[in-house]
Amino acid sequence: MASMKKVKVELAGRSYEVRVGAGLLARAGLWLKGEGFSGRAVVITDTTVGPLYADVLRQGLANAGFDVTVLEVPAGEEQKSLETAGRLYEKLTAAYTERTTPVLALGGGVVGDLAGFVAATYLRGVPLVQVPTTLLAQVDSSIGGKTAVDHGKLKNVIGVFYQPQMVIADIDTLKTLPEDELTNGLAEAIKCAAIRDRNLFNFLDINMNKALQAHTGVLEEIVLEAARIKAEIVARDEKETGLREILNFGHTVGHAVEAVSGFRLKHGRAVAIGMMVAAEISSRMNLLDAGDVARLEEVIVKAGLPAQVPDLDKKEVVRAMRHDKKVRQDRVRFVLLKAIGNAFVSDGVDLALVEEVLVGWG
């Protein structure tokens, strides 16, 4: 039997496990049965992931005695909408879903956020199992209970905290992931390492090529360690009133860059740029050693991510940041580094310094 490792997300009364390993999809049915579920199960997936992985998940569930319904939505961020959620509620009603029927979110962060939102709200909440199939979803979005849909141009504005019963991260699914998507997920793994874990950072540095080739052992280690970091942070601050904010490292500038690029730039790439800007600001404020800035850049470049601000209007980026809810009187809340592996939230970074770093970047 393939190996499986566990990370526990410790939440008072509602702790759950992240299970990481190869060949796990087929075992999900038995695990759900072991958790006391029986009868029906609903799998929500997308039109790319469904044809690849819904069958093996369905078969495992059927073998464990479940009556399985698979619901597919088209792949893509546009599906994170109230319209699609509405269609899923209709189908859940047609599938006679009861309050005890588990919903399994099989896919990347889009499916995880959408199916999570639907599970959180349908019948005031039905059990949710996250089955992430992108690196980004395995290291980041499937853990921690943030669910949401987009509204108009606004991302993740309608949502709710809703923790899953279990997270099943099957590393084998990453074999079919386009390299571009692997790179995207690596940005979040680098982020986890940079804010909390120098050992993981060193591991990424040494093993980046293998990671990009979807090497099972290397990806398993990355997912496991990043999941540990996220689980620990979420357990200490479930609703993001403090510590959890450090997970936004690279995201303040990242979101602005993403928006100014008209979302042509993928999230992970924008976050990589944001991490470099945050590191440079930390260095100019004499908080972070120049050697650590250089190491961060090295690892980001190894992952195939940009460490330079691309051809964007930088003043526009600063303007986009000014609209951020974290800005007050031209000072912005910012996650900075004291060292690789040690992040903190600063209340007041001067927007002028952010602009200076962005513009002076070349």
Taking the complex as a whole, the smallest distance from the CB of residue 254 to ligand NAD amounts, in Å, to 11
- Residue 143: name the closest of 29, 15, 43, 300 by CA: 15
- Residue 251: name the closest of 135, 336, 180 by CA: 336
Burial class (CB in 10 A: 0-12, 13-18, 19+), 56: middle
Classify strands 16-21 and 4-9 as parallel, antiparallel or unpaired.
Answer: antiparallel
Alpha-carbon radius of gyration of the chain: 20
Residue 323 among the catalytic residues: no
- Residue 306: name the closest of 205, 195, 184, 210 by CA: 184
Taking the complex as a whole, the smallest distance from the CB of residue 158 to ligand NAD amounts, in Å, to 12
Of 19, 58, 80, 188, the active-site residue reads 188
- H-type helices in 46-178, by residue range? 49, 55-63, 82-94, 109-121, 135-136
C-alpha–C-alpha distance, residues 26 and 294, integer Å: 43
In the complex with ligand NAD, the residue whose CB is nearer, 110 or 279, is 110
Taking the complex as a whole, the smallest distance from the CB of residue 77 to ligand NAD amounts, in Å, to 5
Residue 248 among the catalytic residues: yes
C-alpha–C-alpha distance, residues 63 and 24, integer Å: 14
In the complex with ligand NAD, the residue whose CB is nearer, 103 or 137, is 137
Residue 151 among the catalytic residues: no
Burial class (CB in 10 A: 0-12, 13-18, 19+), 152: exposed
Taking the complex as a whole, the smallest distance from the CB of residue 51 to ligand NAD amounts, in Å, to 10
Of 80, 196, 228, 267, the active-site residue reads 267
In the complex with ligand NAD, the residue whose CB is nearer, 69 or 173, is 173
Of 230, 266, 295, 302, the active-site residue reads 230
Residue 124 among the catalytic residues: yes
Taking the complex as a whole, the smallest distance from the CB of residue 307 to ligand NAD amounts, in Å, to 20
Residue 338 among the catalytic residues: no
In the complex with ligand NAD, the residue whose CB is nearer, 69 or 142, is 142
Q: Which amino acid is located at 62 in the chain?
A: A
Of 90, 124, 286, 323, the active-site residue reads 124
In the complex with ligand NAD, the residue whose CB is nearer, 30 or 52, is 52
Residue 280 among the catalytic residues: no
**Angle of CA points 11, 185, 269, to nearest 5°:** 125
Residue 35 among the catalytic residues: no
Residue 325 among the catalytic residues: no
Applying CB under 6 A, the residues found at the interface with ligand NAD are 46, 48-49, 52, 75, 77, 80, 107-111, 113, 133-134, 136-137, 140-141, 144, 146, 155-156, 173, 176-177, 181, 184
Residue 230 among the catalytic residues: yes
Residues assigned a catalytic role: 124, 146, 188, 230, 240, 244, 248, 251, 255, 267
